[in-house]
Amino acid sequence: MLLQSCWTLTGQEWLCTEPQCLPLVRAGTARGPSYGIVLDAGSSHTAMFVYKWPADKENDTGVVSEHSMCDVEGPGISSYSLNPPAAGTSLEHCLNQALRDVPKEKHAGTPLYLGATAGMRLLNIADPHVSDAVLRAVAATLKMYPFDFRGAKILSGEEEGLFGWVTANYLLENFIKRGWLGEWIQPQKKTLGAMDFGGASTQITFETRDMIEDPRNKMMLKLYGQAYQVYTHSFLCYGRDQVLKRLLSKLLQAESYQATVSHPCWPVGYNKSLLLSSVYDSPCTEKERPSLAFNTTVTLVGTGIGKLCALHVSKLFDFTNCSFSHCSFDGVFQPKVSGNFIAFSAFFYTVDFIQTVMGRPVHLPSDLKDAAETVCATSWNELLQKAPKLEKRLPDYCAVSTFVYLLTTKGYSFNNHSFPNIAFQKKAGETSIGWALGYMLNLTNMIPAEKPSFHKSMLYNCWVILILLFVVTTLTSLVTAICLFRYSKSSII
């Protein structure tokens, strides 16, 4: 069992005390693969993943793959605070697809989980009763399906970071591999750090040998008999959508809430009017809420000035206070980044836009900085010409690219040497990188703490067969040789 007795973050043994911590339910005696379903209820949207693996190989690494996925129509479940039952209804289309994707005879043996992330963490801060109502509504819908529903819960930021790390390293077979005799091989590869940039929070997770000065960031794991010390931190309000909201709040504040405000991160030629209430409806901006009427409208006018944009975006971080030997930002301890990293979700979307739409490579931090400035200096019409299909997201690539540059360099301290070790990627093979797979692997006990013993016996059996074969071959050769020798002797006489 992953994390077993090693989970030190909350000071309590984890998951095994929860009802979800059950051994994997196998699909009766039915042949063929096993399935598992995870609904990733993110702040911006919900995605359903159907996973599949050979039924007799649960404890192997890298054998679980994504069978299918489904994007839920509409916003994330936390957006249904005024109508919680609609959060449940919104999932039906994807769940109906799951009924078709998983063979009927496997439905009852297919575990089904829903994990909600930063959007629900924020709703829980704003109004815990409403967040409970939303969770109850989605659970009620999930229970109506014939799958083995194992619970709907809000993940902590640390769980979210850790399971993203588990997913990436599991898929890349960095924990353990099977040799040709069925023996376990500890690959000499180092684990891969994981960086997730969601809509409402961002996570960084990596293995380190350095001392982790803040116990809240320290995870001790034992997987397949190997111990790992992992650093993780989740920054709430540092997801893409909340960053954009916080940036608006800073700009409005800087221009004293005038009716018309310049937006240096929006392209020239792009203007938009907003209700003040849409900026201050989140716990991330609540403290900056002005005493003005909530239904006041402000007009923001894009000016596309990259350097000024960077100045405002840098105000979103606190780089000054630190009570540890080193901090990333906001007084959060972070050891030096080490090894290779995979950066997914909006890290990938942002860098992919720079590379494919803007046609600029991103190898060094300076490439990202220059590219962000170029995006900022590109007018609205030019942007629309380059990527008409991305119209909804185009105004924000300047701010988000600038944020990713500042977060990775000034925040996480990637430099010319370490930045090229980041792979901006959303998939490993055909499977999406995110916390969902790691979450399911954990809850179904598919990553054991110890090396599974049946493989040892498999190895043992292989050796016994080989030795027997050797003995039989040697004896046969010996007998044949003696017979030949006798025969030749008798024929001479």
Ligand X SMILES: O=P(O)(O)OP(=O)(O)OP(=O)(O)OC[C@H]1O[C@@H](n2cnc3c(O)ncnc32)[C@H](O)[C@@H]1O
Question: Judged by CB, which is closer to Ca ion: 109, or 198?
Answer: 198
Rounded to 5°, the CA angle 287-311-302 comes to 85
Give the list of residues 6+ apart from residue 82 with CB closer than 8 angstroms, or none.
none
Q: Which stretch binds ligand X (CB under 6 A): 83-91, 114-122, 178-186, 458-466?
A: 114-122
* β partners of residue 230: 207, 219
Which residue's CB is nearer to Ca ion, number 184 or number 439? 439
Q: Considering 58, 66, 158, 160, which one is annotated as catalytic? A: 160
* Whole-angstrom distance, CA of residue 41 vs CA of residue 493: 91
Tally DSSP H helices, then E strands, for the chain: 14, 18
CB of 76 to ligand X, least distance (A): 5
160 in catalytic set: yes
200 is in an annotated binding site: yes
Nearer to ligand X by Cβ, of 100 and 392: the residue is 392
- Please indicate if the annotation marks 202 as binding a ligand: yes
Among 62, 198, 267, 335, binds ligand X (CB under 6 A): 198
Q: Regarding beta strands 341-345 and 297-302, do their DSSP bridges make them parallel or antiparallel, or are they unpaired?
A: unpaired
What does residue 37 show for φ and ψ, rounded to 5 degrees? -125, 135
Q: Which two tokens stand for residue 159?
A: 């769980």
**CB-CB neighbours of 186 under 10 Å:** 12
Task: Work out which of 3, 34, 35, 44 binds ligand X, going by CB under 6 A.
Answer: 44
Question: Pick from 62, 76, 306, 448: which binds ligand X (CB under 6 A)?
Answer: 76
393, interface contact from ligand X, Ca ion, none, CB < 5-8 Å by kind: ligand X
Q: Are 192 and 338 in contact (CB under 8 A)?
A: no
Residue 75, number of CB atoms within 10 A of its CB: 17
Binding of residue 233 to ligand X (CB under 6 A)? no
Q: Which does 199 bind (CB under 5 to 8 A by kind): Ca ion, ligand X, none?
A: ligand X
For residue 126, say whether it is annotated as part of any ligand binding site.
no
Q: Going by C-beta distance under 8 Å and a sequence separation of 6 or more, which residues neighbour residue 393? A: none
CB 158 within 8 A of CB 234: yes
- Binding residue for ligand X, selected from 102, 137, 200, 422, defined by CB under 6 A: 200
Query: Closest distance between ligand X and the C-beta of residue 409, in Å?
Result: 20
Which of Ca ion, ligand X, none does residue 44 bind (CB under 5 to 8 Å by kind)? Answer: ligand X
Annotated binding residue at 198?
no
Is residue 453 part of an annotated ligand binding site? no
Q: State the Cα–Cα distance between residues 209 and 319, nearest whole angstrom.
A: 24
**DSSP label at residue 284:** T
Q: Alpha-carbon Rg of the chain, whole angstroms?
A: 27
CB contact at 8 A, 384 and 340:
no
Nearer to Ca ion (CB atom), residue 55 or residue 437: 437
Are the C-beta atoms of residues 412 and 231 closer than 8 Å to each other? no
In the list ligand X, Ca ion, none, the entry touching 201 (Cβ below 5 to 8 angstroms by class) is: ligand X
Distance from C-alpha of 360 to C-alpha of 370, rounded to nearest angstrom: 9
Site for Ca ion in 32-51 (CB under 5 A): 42
Strands 297-302 and 427-428, bridge-based pairing: unpaired
Q: Give the range of 11-19, 47-55, 195-203, 296-304 binding Ca ion by CB under 5 A.
A: 195-203
Task: Please measure the distance between the N-terminal and C-terminal CA atoms of the chain and give it in whole angstroms.
Answer: 73
Q: Does residue 56 sit in helix, strand or coil?
A: helix
- For the record, the structure tokens of 383 come out as 């942007």
Q: Is 201 in the site for ligand X (CB under 6 A)?
A: yes
Determine, following the binding rule CB under 6 A, whether residue 241 of this chain makes contact with ligand X. Answer: yes
Measured N-to-C along each axis, helices 397-406 and 306-314 cross at an angle, to the nearest 10 degrees, of 60
280-319: contacts with ligand X (CB under 6 A): none
241 binds, among Ca ion, ligand X, none (CB under 5 to 8 A by kind): ligand X
Residue 465 Cβ, how far from ligand X at the closest point, in Å? 49
Which residues inside 386-425 make contact with ligand X, applying CB under 6 A?
393
Q: Which of 111, 161, 193, 198 binds Ca ion (CB under 5 A)?
A: 198
Encoding tokens for residue 289? 């809420």
Give the interface size with Ca ion as a residue count (CB under 5 A). Answer: 2
Choose the stretch contacting ligand X; rule: CB under 6 A; options: 165-173, 195-203, 255-263, 409-417.
195-203
Helices 128-143, 118-126: crossing angle, 10 deg rounding: 130
Q: Please tell me whether residue 157 binds ligand X under the rule CB under 6 A.
A: no
Within 10 A of 98 (CB to CB), how many other CB atoms are there? 24
Residue 345 in the binding site for ligand X (CB under 6 A): yes
> Which of ligand X, Ca ion, none does residue 200 bind (CB under 5 to 8 Å by kind)?
ligand X
- Residue 204 CB, nearest distance to Ca ion (Å)? 14
Any contact of residue 346 with ligand X (CB under 6 A)?
A: yes
Q: Which of 61, 117, 232, 334 binds ligand X (CB under 6 A)?
A: 117
Question: Going by C-beta distance under 8 Å and a sequence separation of 6 or more, which residues neighbour residue 432?
Answer: 47, 49, 66, 69, 426
Decide whether 33 or 76 has the Cβ nearer to Ca ion: 76
Contacts with ligand X by CB under 6 A: the residue count is: 19
Cβ distance to Ca ion smaller for residue 198 or 304: 198
Range 103-113 burial, b when 16+ CB lie within 10 A, else e = eeebbebbbbb
Annotated binding site for ATP: 199-203
Catalytic residues: 160
List residues near Ca ion by CB under 5 A.
42, 198
List residues near ligand X by CB under 6 A.
42-45, 76, 117-119, 198-201, 239-241, 345-346, 349, 393
